[in-house]
Structure 1
């Protein structure tokens, strides 16, 4: 059975980005836990969540948890922030990854575009970046930036329970499709 480590970004003393009454750590936790629920409810999969509550977990400990359990995928949930004017969705892999990770991310990203299109969200694309959790994790790893928390339009979606359900379910379906998980 495939193992997915779901990582709600930030937490505890690390709020992550803030904007329009939201904290990244809270939004990331909500989406990650819903994604975990959808994965476990609809698919044959094993999951580990790096935090279930508002607590601080170091970047190193997040990677170690994935590596020590030989995860098939490390999935990190975040929200973006820039200057209040940037908006949309993007996802990341490490700067140099193998074909397996590229294929997983492309399949996942293509599935996510369904929700982006439904809500008229700008698709900022598939990107690479030298981020610790992507670099230090041996499993295929994807980091999602679920909209810009400091953009009014994006933050209104992040406050919309229908959007949160849709994106969480789509993340789960995208992971399932990419990893070829069996339905329950």
Structure 2
């Protein structure tokens, strides 16, 4: 089954690249989790759904941007293992990768809130994190040895958009207005890249 998925990803990558205008650069948005892997969740709100919705909004906002083409690692509620995500990313040779996630604190009384960014231990990944940080009130930026960061051969960051168990963050991230604002801000980062 894994071999079939990898073959399908390779065929999609080849077909996609053959139709992408040569002057457009690729940006990959990785909508974390999916399928049976719900990610962080609370009150019927699931990380996998929120990050996918934001990824699709990024594509819509970017549609008028002539410099970049935004590709999602998943465009439906499917479970795509991390190894397959990074194979897909590396076959595309994008300019950058932003993996979208939502945090959750183990302490239900925690007051933690706001976005956090995890980077590769590379200068370009850290520069990308700084650009994102200027658009958002980022609480923390730090290096992490996580699969998407370690295995992506291009500048990559993981952006935790907020804490699902913080009522303010939860309301913002799950609202249509909040998702559109997050997507718009990330699209503005591309324009500056």
Sort the TM-score into its range (normalised by shorter chain): 0.7 to 0.9
TM-score, length of structure 2 as denominator length: 0.81
Q: 1:146 aligns with which of 161, 169, 175?
A: 161
C-alpha distance in 1, partners of 2:130/2:168?
Answer: 26
TM-score, length of structure 1 as denominator length: 0.85
The answer as to 2:68 corresponding to 1:53 is no
Cα RMSD (Å)? 1.4
Gaps of 5+ in 2: 1-23
The answer as to 2:179 corresponding to 1:156 is no
Structure number with the bigger relative contact order (C-alpha 8 A, sep ≥ 6) is 1
Structure number with bigger Rg: 2
Q: Which residue of structure 1 lines up, in the alignment, with residue 113 of structure 2?
A: 87
Spell out the pairing of 1:18-29 with structure 2 (5 A cutoff). Answer: 18-29=41-52
- Deviating runs (4+, > 3 A) in structure 1? none
Spell out the pairing of 1:28-177 with structure 2 (5 A cutoff). Answer: 28-82=51-105, 83-84=107-108, 85=110, 86-94=112-120, 96-97=121-122, 99-110=123-134, 112-113=135-136, 116=137, 123-177=138-192
Gaps of 5+ in 1: 117-122, 180-184
Per-residue deviation at 1:5? 0.9
C-alpha distance in 1, partners of 2:26/2:79?
Answer: 23
Tell me the number of residue pairs that the alignment of Structure 1 and Structure 2 aligns. 167
Q: Which residue of structure 2 lines up, in the alignment, with residue 9 of structure 1?
A: 32
